[in-house]
């Protein structure tokens, strides 16, 4: 079997040497790059061939790629690079990489066209001045062929290892047994649905209750489907760190040596051809890598990411090959874990940066576990790599009810006038006029607004032009004087770049609003606020061969489908619960927790909690819609019932403080923990058995009624005819069900949930509660 490699990948593997250098050098934007390439091609003669596809074989390798241009009259191949700033400042290793790419294309061109010699040119196009700098060298076809073969020889051993790994991986996954003797209730239904969606190349929304083993139930069938679907990678994307930890643990279990009953594995593929599951003597050869944020992985937080500052960036590419080999292991069984700790150990042993080592290793991993933003963000690395390398990927989205709010954040941008005012005094002379013009436009917009908050259908005239001028001025200045860019100016520049980029795709999915702070400073904030991320996410779903989004709270399906831009043929499964209604007493306390009635609700809520606690002492969680409400109830409770232990969630809690809060839920413990709906203790918290026997949930969890949410409601009403439900009701009830889901964790758990608000009696609200709950017909008397 031949291994196919792109010229770019080949050269990055063999010819990238020296330091890692992430010093900010403003490069040309993608649009400028395309325009620059087109400009260079347009300046050539009629015979000029732009974008020449090339391909060639060498032993077990197929090398392919697209050269930027060939001028047959001049006998010259062009490799075009767009840039901004001082060309002489380009690091030597980047120039060497450009030459390597150009020479490889030259060798492929000579072979395809039977040329005996060729001029090879690096054409550097300055996007600011539109000038070209051409570096030309003449080579014989033999010289170019020798160069390409040398690169291939350096890569062949790695390619052979990768081919062998892929074969072993796919063989093992095809006959992968389920890691346990049986499926849990509901787990098999989930796994079957995921497998069928993967085989059909579809997206799936899977609502599955807590306690059925969702992580194994989604990972296992996706892995099983990988060989048949020729998937290169599986991305497991989580909203929070605990989700990543669960996935890594599940992957360890799945790939450990197994002696499971074949029947359990066969059961998954009802209706599909299944080979007998063997007893595997060794662990499944699966390379699993964890991506963590830069601030968590960085070993030198006070340094900058280049060789003159950080020792782990110095000579990074010289030491990368050994680190890479250590990471994939000499044999599958010898491959180390590539989670945060494992990667750190390898990186430090080879004196390279762990954060950037992880990014390099994504290319050679089978499963990547990371945050949503690595795939769904505007510049999501995992999406970019899949696109550039033409990978077939499967995507799993854990706790997917978080994706709508997270994606809205990714595709929103804010700018603060205080930040603009802060950068102006120290701004370089070349940048100051553009900043002054931006300030003028900003003041004009603000001057026209009479209220503290207003939203607009369109972007104000002149704003985007003013921002583009600021971007060009700062970009040109930092290219010319990279050491003379104040940090606050650089931070402001990143904000304006992000804002401008989103402004260029402004549409009905977002609104533009301006807020004048009601304080002494009176800061003015401009915001591009995304309301419907569908148009941004849709291409990401289409780029994946299959995507499964799963969570305990995805009701109703159309809410997620509309807002996320899921494909029209998305499948839906609502997995049966393993729990019985007799395990959970759900009662409605019919009092009003509406904002105006909250003072009157405090005493009845305290009475209800005290009565329940007296009746069945143990560990409880009490959830409120805000910290203010939480504190009011908590104060009254402490005053009236000083004998009952209570503890509270605080606004900013460290990881340690969060651990202490949960520690108090001991098996033999007593007391009530006060927390907020939608907060750190309302989901992904596992307190089985006596560690938690009940929850009090005050309010429907509806987001606050404020001008921003009212704008959202109006827009969602226009787009989907469901403004109130999409803005308030569905997100609120999701929080309620997530919070209540803390009580019953296993099939032997028993507990109570009090839903404190009369609106829980309404049919439209009841429909959003889990089907297995039996809400008691006689309302609780308070």
* Binding footprint of ligand SF4 on the chain (CB under 6 A): 20, 294, 298-300, 303, 305, 310, 312-313, 353, 355-356
Return the structure tokens found at 277.
């599951």
* Min separation Cβ 412 and ligand SF4, Å: 26
* Min separation Cβ 494 and ligand SF4, Å: 17
Is 166 or 294 the residue whose CB approaches ligand SF4 more closely?
294
Output the CA torsion sign for 179, 180, 185, 188.
positive
Distance between CA 220 and CA 212 in Å, rounded? 14
Is 80 or 310 the residue whose CB approaches ligand SF4 more closely?
310
The conformation of residue 689, written as its DSSP 8-state character, comes to G
* Min separation Cβ 321 and ligand SF4, Å: 18
Binning the chain into helix, strand and coil, the percentages to the nearest 5 are 45, 20, 35
Return the structure tokens found at 95.
């120039």
Neighbouring residues of 779: CB distance < 8 A, sequence distance ≥ 6: 587, 588, 589, 590, 761
Distance between CA 438 and CA 454 in Å, rounded? 20
Is 307 or 694 the residue whose CB approaches ligand SF4 more closely?
307
CB 37 within 8 A of CB 66: no
CB 254 within 8 A of CB 176: yes
| Terminal Cα-to-Cα distance of the chain (whole angstroms) | 74
Is 60 or 308 the residue whose CB approaches ligand SF4 more closely?
308
Which residue, 687, 728, 698, 692, is CA-closest to 600?
698
Is 295 or 569 the residue whose CB approaches ligand SF4 more closely?
295
* Min separation Cβ 347 and ligand SF4, Å: 9
* Min separation Cβ 362 and ligand SF4, Å: 16
Is 309 or 747 the residue whose CB approaches ligand SF4 more closely?
309
Distance between CA 25 and CA 28 in Å, rounded? 10
Distance between CA 222 and CA 232 in Å, rounded? 12
* Min separation Cβ 316 and ligand SF4, Å: 7
Is 312 or 419 the residue whose CB approaches ligand SF4 more closely?
312
* Min separation Cβ 85 and ligand SF4, Å: 22
How far apart, in Å, are the Cα atoms of 8 and each of 31, 79, 216?
A: 20, 12, 36
Is 309 or 631 the residue whose CB approaches ligand SF4 more closely?
309
CA Rg value for the chain: 30
Is 355 or 375 the residue whose CB approaches ligand SF4 more closely?
355
DSSP labels, 152-173? HHHHHHHHHHHHHHHHHHHHHH
* Min separation Cβ 733 and ligand SF4, Å: 41
Is 277 in a helix, a strand, or coil? coil
CB 636 within 8 A of CB 709: no
Distance between CA 674 and CA 683 in Å, rounded? 14
Is 176 or 298 the residue whose CB approaches ligand SF4 more closely?
298
Is 288 or 298 the residue whose CB approaches ligand SF4 more closely?
298
* Min separation Cβ 292 and ligand SF4, Å: 11
* Min separation Cβ 678 and ligand SF4, Å: 32
* Min separation Cβ 300 and ligand SF4, Å: 4
* Min separation Cβ 299 and ligand SF4, Å: 4
Where would I find the H helices in 175-256?
187-200, 214-225, 241-255
The conformation of residue 653, written as its DSSP 8-state character, comes to -
Distance between CA 486 and CA 427 in Å, rounded? 8
Return the structure tokens found at 387.
């696109």
Is 277 or 313 the residue whose CB approaches ligand SF4 more closely?
313
CA dihedral 64, 68, 73, 76 (to 10 degrees): -80
Return the structure tokens found at 112.
């395809």
Distance between CA 148 and CA 77 in Å, rounded? 15
């Amino acid at each position: 079997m031949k291994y196919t490699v792109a010229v770019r990948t080949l050269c990055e593997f063999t010819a990238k040497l020296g330091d890692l250098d992430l010093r900010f050098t403003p490069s040309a934007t993608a649009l400028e790059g395309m325009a620059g390439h087109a400009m260079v091609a347009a300046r050539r003669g009629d015979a000029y061939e732009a974008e020449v596809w090339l391909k060639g074989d060498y032993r077990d390798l197929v090398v392919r790629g697209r050269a930027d241009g060939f001028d047959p009259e001049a006998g010259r191949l062009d490799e075009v690079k767009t840039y901004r700033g001082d060309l002489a400042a380009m690091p030597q290793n980047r120039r060497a990489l450009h030459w390597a790419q150009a020479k490889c294309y030259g060798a492929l061109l000579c072979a395809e066209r039977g040329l005996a010699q060729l001029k090879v040119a690096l054409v550097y196009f300055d996007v600011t001045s539109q000038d070209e700098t051409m570096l030309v060298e003449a080579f014989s076809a033999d010289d170019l062929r020798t160069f390409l073969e040398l690169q291939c020889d350096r890569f062949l051993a790695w390619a052979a290892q990768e081919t062998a790994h892929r074969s072993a991986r796919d063989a093992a996954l095809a006959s992968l047994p389920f890691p346990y003797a049986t499926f849990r209730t509901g787990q098999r239904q989930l796994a079957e649905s995921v497998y069928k969606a993967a085989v059909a190349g579809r997206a799936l929304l899977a609502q599955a209750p807590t306690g059925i083993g969702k992580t194994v139930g989604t990972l296992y069938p996706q892995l099983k489907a990988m060989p048949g679907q020729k998937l290169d990678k599986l991305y497991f994307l989580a909203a929070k760190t605990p989700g990543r930890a669960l996935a890594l643990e599940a992957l360890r279990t799945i790939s450990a040596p197994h002696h499971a009953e074949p029947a359990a594995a066969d059961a998954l593929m009802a209706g599909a051809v299944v080979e007998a599951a063997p007893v595997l003597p060794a662990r499944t050869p699966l390379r699993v890598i964890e991506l963590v944020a830069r601030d968590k992985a960085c070993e030198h937080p006070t340094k900058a990411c280049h060789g003159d500052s950080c020792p782990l960036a110095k000579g990074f590419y010289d030491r990368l090959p050994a680190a890479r080999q250590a990471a994939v292991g000499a044999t599958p069984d010898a491959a180390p874990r590539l989670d945060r700790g494992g990667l750190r150990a390898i990186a430090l042993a080879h004196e390279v940066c762990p954060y950037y080592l992880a990014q390099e290793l994504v290319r050679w991993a089978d499963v990547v576990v990371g945050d949503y933003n690595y795939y769904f963000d505007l510049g999501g690395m995992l999406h970019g790599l899949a696109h550039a390398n033409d990978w077939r990927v499967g995507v799993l989205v854990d706790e997917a009810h978080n994706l709508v709010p997270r994606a809205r954040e990714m595709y929103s941008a804010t700018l603060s006038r205080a930040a603009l005012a802060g950068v102006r005094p120290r701004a370089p002379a070349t940048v100051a006029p553009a900043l002054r013009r931006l300030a003028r436009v900003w003041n004009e917009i603000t001057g026209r607004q009479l209220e503290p908050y207003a939203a607009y259908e369109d972007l104000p005239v002149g704003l985007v032009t003013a921002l583009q001028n600021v971007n060009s001025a700062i970009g040109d200045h930092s290219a010319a004087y990279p050491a003379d860019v104040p940090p606050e100016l650089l931070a402001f520049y990143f904000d304006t770049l992000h804002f401008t980029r989103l402004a260029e795709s402004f549409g009905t999915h977002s609104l533009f609003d301006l807020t004048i702070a009601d304080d002494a400073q009176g800061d003015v904030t401009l915001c591009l606020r995304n309301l419907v991320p569908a148009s941004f996410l849709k291409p990401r779903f289409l780029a994946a061969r299959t995507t499964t989004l799963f969570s305990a709270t995805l009701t109703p399906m159309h809410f997620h489908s509309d807002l996320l831009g899921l494909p029209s043929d998305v499948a839906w499964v609502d997995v049966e619960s393993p729990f019985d209604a007799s395990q959970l007493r759900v009662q409605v306390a019919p009092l009003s927790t509406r904002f105006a009635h909250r003072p009157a609700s405090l005493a009845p809520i305290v009475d209800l909690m005290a009565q329940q606690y007296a009746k069945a002492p143990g560990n409880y969680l009490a959830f409120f819609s805000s910290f203010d409400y939480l504190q009011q109830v908590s104060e009254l409770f402490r005053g009236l019932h000083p004998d009952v232990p209570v503890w509270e969630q605080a606004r900013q809690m460290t990881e340690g403080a969060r651990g202490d809060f949960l520690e108090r839920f001991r098996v033999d413990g007593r007391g009530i923990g006060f927390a907020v709906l939608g907060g750190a203790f309302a989901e992904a918290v596992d307190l089985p058995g006596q560690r938690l026997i009940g929850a009090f949930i005050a309010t429907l969890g509806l987001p606050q009624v404020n001008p921003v949410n009212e704008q959202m409601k109006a827009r969602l009403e226009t787009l989907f005819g469901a403004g109130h439900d999409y803005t308030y009701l569905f997100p609120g009830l999701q929080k309620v069900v997530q919070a209540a889901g803390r009580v019953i964790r296993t099939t032997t758990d028993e507990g109570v949930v009090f839903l404190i608000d009369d609106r829980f009696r309404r049919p439209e609200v009841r429909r959003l509660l889990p089907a297995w709950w039996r809400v008691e017909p006689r309302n609780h008397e308070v």
